[in-house]
A = this chain, B = another copy of it.
Amino acid sequence: MTADQPLAIALVHHPVRDRNGALITAAVTNLDLHDLARSAKTFGVERFYVVTPVAEQQRLVTRLLDHWVVGHGASYNPDRAAALELAAVVDSLDQALADWRQLTSEDALPLLTGAQRCDGISFSMGRQMLKQRPILLTLGTGSGLAEELFENEWPVLEPIAGVAGYNHLPVRAAAAIMLDRIKGTGKEL
């Protein structure tokens, strides 16, 4: 079995949509960072980009990371340090991609996600893609990634299908399931 290429995730706060489809910048929330970092660490993700162009929010994230990765929190709870040290704050998805390509290779590609997309590749194809090139799994906050990001001809992952047509997973749950489906051993199924 071919080994996987490196995997990173990006949590995008701009550009995203609100519930009415309007373009917004979502606020960074403390818990998203903790939850996504811990899920990322569990599944061997190498980098977790927190994408926001808002300087004040960037400072907030930096303070939070300092506390848990090098400050008092690191000795209080080393498991959180191990997860949050994957995180880095960046201005834009382009900047995240540029950094990820520098860390891996120019082949690295975003893999976009969206609960409303019907043009996505299957999770099985996502797993195959990860054997061929580094991937930046890209999740939107608010009500999902803005339309303009889908105009870059980057691949899109199919939505997580539940059993009853309800399609409103929190980004924290969606990220966990996606990482399990793409990186989990799957031996249980």
Residue positions of A touching B, CB distance < 8 A: 19, 31, 34-35, 38-39, 41-44, 77, 79, 82-83, 122-124, 158, 160-164, 166-170, 172-177, 180-181, 183-186, 188-189
Contact = CB atoms under 8 A, between A and B. Distances in A.
B170 A35 contact: yes
Among A31, A122, A188, max chain B CB count under 10 A is at A188
Contact of A177 (B77, B161, B180): B180
B79 A172 contact: no
A170 B176 CA distance: 10
A42 to B, nearest CB: 4
Contact of A123 (B77, B83, B188): B188
Nearest to A41: B166
